[in-house]
Amino acid sequence: MPFQKQNYFQRRTKPKGPKANERIRAPEVQVISSDGKNLGTLKTEEAINIAREEGLDLIEISPNANPPICKIIDIGKYKYDLQKKANKAKKKQKIINLKEIKLRPVTEIHDYNFKIKNAQKFLTKGDKVKFTVQFRGREMQHTNLGHKLMDRIIQDTASLGKIEIEPKFEGRQIIMIIQPL
């Protein structure tokens, strides 16, 4: 007798997708036929036999119902339709990025205008913009300059975005987030 290696640590993977045929554990199920008619509550074995006669599978659609609701359809087609729905939902979702713009209370007007132009470009694309005004050294004594700068930013971006997070002081910086309209 040849030696057979047993793999004790083999990972057991759960079967993906809905329960079908013999994997359905409920003693009775509510059955919907392949043409959409309700066949009523049947014993699971009886429902599986009906599905096999049609050459299809019995698939558990709603496992949390009492009794579970099962439908007689082809499992390959059902999985394909689920995948199509998931892809369609994924296409429709919009990803919003957060762009950060850092300023200082002594930022010159040209640099400020350049950064505001970039912020407006980000907002028109649909991204959120996080403005950070950083203070260094003695600038901490003039936090009012940072608040004035934030007010100016709010006025300049009012046509494209609205404030999501009001300007607030955190450590040595003032932070504000503007989201697109």
Instruction: Set out the domains of the chain in order of their start, with CATH numbers.
Output: 21-91 (3.10.20.80), 98-180 (3.30.110.10)
Q: Is the pLDDT of residue 109 over 60?
A: yes
Q: Is the pLDDT of residue 8 over 80?
A: no
pLDDT score for 173: 94
User: CA torsion angle for 47, 53, 54, 56 (degrees, to 10)?
Assistant: 60
| Higher local confidence (pLDDT), 38 or 12 | 38
- C-alpha–C-alpha distance, residues 39 and 133, integer Å: 67
Q: What is the mean pLDDT of residues 56-74?
A: 90
Ranking 84-93, 99-108, 147-156 by mean pLDDT, the lowest is 84-93
pTM higher than 0.75 for the full model? Answer: no
Q: What is the mean pLDDT of residues 57-86?
A: 90
- C-alpha–C-alpha distance, residues 135 and 105, integer Å: 7
